[in-house]
Amino acid sequence: MRKVYVAGVGMVKVGKHVDKSLRDLAGEAALKALEEAGNETPEAIVVGNMLSSLVEQENLASLIGDHIGLRGACGFKVEGACGSGGAALMTGYSLVASGLFSKVLVVGVEKLFERPSNDVIRGLAYAADADYELIYGITFSGLNALLMRYYMNKYGVKYEELAYWSVLMHKNGYKNPYAQLRNEITLEDVLKSPVIADPIRLYDSCPLSDGASAALLVSEDLRKATDTPVSIAGVSNSIDSVDLSSRLELDHLLASRVSAENALRIAKVSLREVDIAEIHDAYTITAALSIESIGFVEKGKAPKAWSEGRFSPGDKPSLNLSGGLKSRGHPVGATGVYQLAEVVMQLRGDFPGVSVPAEVGLTQNIGGAGSNITTIILRR
């Protein structure tokens, strides 16, 4: 396999973009990434997206590729629910590593604010099992609420300990110019926010978001031309059951552990060497399960750890310097590509928000309630 480098990244500010369409958002991020990479023309475009059918648009690689002048290039969309961006990166990586192409553009994009929110909430629940879960009216928040109550009950973790994660994320995201929710919040704000799916409150949850992020992945021979120091040292994707009913464990994400172990092994990096990570905190419980399943702390210990200052900027690892899904936002199929762009900028030393010196970074992008997970190791 050939080494793969990230030659350029581009992000659009996450938020509600009434004035921008899906193709506008994707095109803006893509052209930024190409510009950073010396305006190279990619041979292939891989699009990460979950819900473009909500805006009656599929065939995204052709739509976006043509919009930015890539007629004749290879292109397709990759879908893995909220983990679509990570899955698209894994696909783009494979196209370069295999030697099939030398320049592959990966674009993650999501456009949610085109439809009323109850339509969007239903759409997000497409990541659940339609026949055996959605038929009862479950929502995505509802599935995570089931995991959260189970976890709190099993480990005796208090709601407030989990909720404190949101406070920490807003503190980081406050300084990120690409973040959607750039306001600091207190624990009391979280406790007073309305219940969405008990025990999950509004401020335990990421917001609904529009956004797009892109990265140009290149082979070693193009590394010098584009002058990048950052390589994708390892990447792995793993699946688990969509339905929660047949999971072997409800307090552990199998696909998180497996994809992290594989990515670290491929990168020849130990978990202790990871300086920074962007993890997928769609809900505070998702943060806890991701942190524990990767292996940063033991089961049931993550909330106590972050309440005591672990994972804060400067600690090893520092987690979610971007503000995470909670504050940066969660443009579903784009999120995995945002995580990559943020870590690449951290490793290059030019992230415009909270930043720390770092050599090794990890991203973990989660689809469904833990059913499709991609872990990436980046190195400078």
Residues that bind other proteins (CB under 8 A): 116, 118-119, 121-122, 125, 129-139, 141-142, 145-147, 149-150, 153, 194-200, 241, 243-248, 250
**CA-CA-CA-CA torsion sign (178, 180, 184, 185):** negative
For other proteins, the closer of residues 58 and 119 by Cβ is 119
E strands within 66-102? 74-78
The encoded tokens of residue 185 equal: 């919040």
The smaller minimum CB distance to other proteins, of residues 104 and 145, is found at: 145
Residue 142 or 367: the one with the smaller Cβ distance to other proteins is 142
Q: Which two tokens stand for residue 105?
A: 């553009």
Tell me the closest approach of the beta carbon of residue 154 to other proteins, in angstroms. Answer: 9
Closest to 95 measured CA to CA, from 135, 61, 45, 56: 45
Give all strands (DSSP E) within 256-302, no chain letters.
276-278
Q: For residue 50, what is the DSSP state?
A: S
Instruction: Give the residue from 377, 364, 231 showing the smallest Cα distance to 294.
Output: 364
Q: How far out from the chain centre does Cα 10 lie?
A: 15
CA distance 14 to 331: 7
Question: Which residue in the list 17, 82, 206, 280 is annotated as catalytic?
Answer: 82
Interatomic CA distance for residues 358 and 41, integer angstroms: 30
Coil, helix or strand at residue 280: coil
Q: Residue 250 CB, nearest distance to other proteins (Å)?
A: 7
CB of 54 to other proteins, least distance (A): 11
Catalytic site includes residue 82: yes
Q: Smallest distance, Å, CB 348 to other proteins?
A: 40
The DSSP bridge partners found for residue 321 are: none
CB count within 10 Å of CB 59 equals 12
Q: Please provide residue 61's backbone torsions phi and psi, each rounded to the nearest 5 degrees.
A: -65, -40
Instruction: Output 33 or 54, the one with its CB closest to other proteins.
Output: 54
- Angle CA 145–182–172, to nearest 5: 75
Minimum Å gap between C-beta 254 and other proteins is 10
Least Å distance, CB 255 to other proteins, is 12
Q: Which is nearer to other proteins, 25 or 197 (CB)?
A: 197
Catalytic residue of the set 17, 170, 280, 330: 330
- Nearer to other proteins by Cβ, of 121 and 266: the residue is 121
Q: Which residue lies nearer to other proteins by CB, 19 or 118?
A: 118
Q: Nearest distance from residue 201's CB to other proteins, in Å? A: 10
**CA dihedral angle for residue 111, residue 114, residue 117, residue 121, rounded to 10 degrees:** -40
> Can you read off the two tokens belonging to residue 329?
């936002």
Place of tokens 């909500």: 54
Catalytic center residues: 82, 330
